[in-house]
Amino acid sequence: MATLIGGLGTSHVPAIGGAIHKGLQQEPYWKPFFDGYPPVQTWLQEKRPDVVVMFYNDHGLNFFLDKMPTFAVGAAAQYNNADEGWGIPTLPPFQGEVDLSWHLINHLVQQNFDITTCQEMLVDHACTLPLKLFWPQGDCPVTVVPICINTVQFPLPHARRVYALGRAVGEAIASWGSNKKVAVIASGGLSHQLEGERAGFLNKAFDLQFMESLVSNPEWATQYTNHELVAKAGSQGIELLMWLAMRASLVAGDGFGVRKVHSHYHIPISNTAAGLIALEKVF
């Protein structure tokens, strides 16, 4: 059976892609952000996952407000990137892990999740940037299964439902008949708001409490409604739901919890609280 080695959470601000493209990682503004990543890159070099399951939210490249699925799972042989208008270079296609995609899809439907299945799928910066941050050199060494969660247009899935989805994904990975190693990535957040009277809103205290809960009390955030999470983390901070799904996936299957490999927090990066965490599943 497949081995789920652990989970990662990272922010995905479009400006990060511009900084990578322009080689600004050591500039004073960007250095505190990029300095958080080498310990996680080293851990990944040691563990060498074969496959990544990516929880992310689409920003209008593949889904728009006229058609916004709550949960969508990619089942493509490759995932293409395209121009989003941010000035980020378009990246080469990422290779899909089709067998795991269909295994996940079948398991989720059996667990009463009504999902959208995508045999063709464009992936935006929320999917591509984590791969460049964790594997900055050369071609991406992992195949990918993208799982898109709606955090853009209300009604949004409740935190409890997202946690249940993540747990079901972890169960499916654990039962996948493969000898491959799998890592789960959460892309998004943390606290930020880009519009309205609270534009520029950040909440460091809440972010740090949420990051700690992922280690010690993974269901902690499920006590809040989505409106409460928006109040605490900002309208775009609701992207923390991806982190919750990632952590829930590590609960399923064999194991005795998680070990925090590394965490990092920096504010602001382009009006966003930038978080990073790596959790290793303990057997």
What are the structural domain ranges in the chain?
3-281
Task: Catalytic residue, from 12, 103, 192, 266: name it.
Answer: 192
Kindly give the interhelix angle for 226-233 and 240-249, rounded to the nearest 10 degrees.
120
What's the predicted TM-score (pTM) here?
0.95
Note the pLDDT tens digit of each residue in 154-197. Answer: 899 999 999 999 999 999 999 999 999 999 999 998 999 988 88
At 60, is the pLDDT very low, low, confident or very high (cuts 50, 70, 90)?
confident
What does the pLDDT average to over 74-100? 88
What does the pLDDT average to over 210-218? 96
Q: Is the pLDDT of residue 219 over 90?
A: yes
User: 119: which 2 tokens?
Assistant: 């045999």
Question: Is 264 noted as a catalytic residue in this protein?
Answer: no
Rounded CA separation 130/132 (Å): 5
Q: What is the mean pLDDT of the chain?
A: 94
Task: Catalytic residue, from 59, 125, 262, 266: name it.
Answer: 125
What does the pLDDT average to over 131-139? 92
Q: What is the pLDDT of residue 38?
A: 98
- Contact predicate 202/267, CB 8 Å: yes
Which is more confident, 217 or 200?
Answer: 217
Rounded CA separation 204/161 (Å): 25
pLDDT-wise least confident of 32-36, 227-231, 251-255: 251-255
Rounded CA separation 128/187 (Å): 10
* CATH domain 3-281 topology: Protocatechuate 4,5-dioxygenase; Chain B (3.40.830)
At 23, is the pLDDT very low, low, confident or very high (cuts 50, 70, 90)?
very high
Q: What is the pLDDT of residue 255?
A: 59
Residue with tokens 């439902």: 161
- Contact predicate 212/254, CB 8 Å: no
At 240, is the pLDDT very low, low, confident or very high (cuts 50, 70, 90)?
very high
Share of the chain above pLDDT 90, in %: 80
Angle, CA 35 vertex, CA 195 and CA 30 arms, to 5°: 45
Q: What is the pLDDT of residue 256?
A: 63
- The secondary structure of the chain, three-state, reads CCEEEEEEEECCCHHHHHHHHHCCCCCCCCHHHHCCCHHHHHHHHHHCCCEEEEEECCCCCCCECCECCCEEEECCCEEECCCCCCCCCCCCCEEECHHHHHHHHHHHHHCCCCCEEECCCECCHHHHHHHHHHCCCCCCCCEEEEEEECCCCCCCCCHHHHHHHHHHHHHHHHCCCCCCEEEEEEECCCCCCCCCCCCCCCCHHHHHHHHHHHHHCCCHHHHCCHHHHHHHHCCCHHHHHHHHHHHHHCCCCCCCCEEEEEEEEEEEECCEEEEEEEEEECC
At 253, is the pLDDT very low, low, confident or very high (cuts 50, 70, 90)?
low
Question: Is 59 noted as a catalytic residue in this protein?
Answer: no
14, 11, 236: which is closest to 134 by C-alpha? Answer: 11
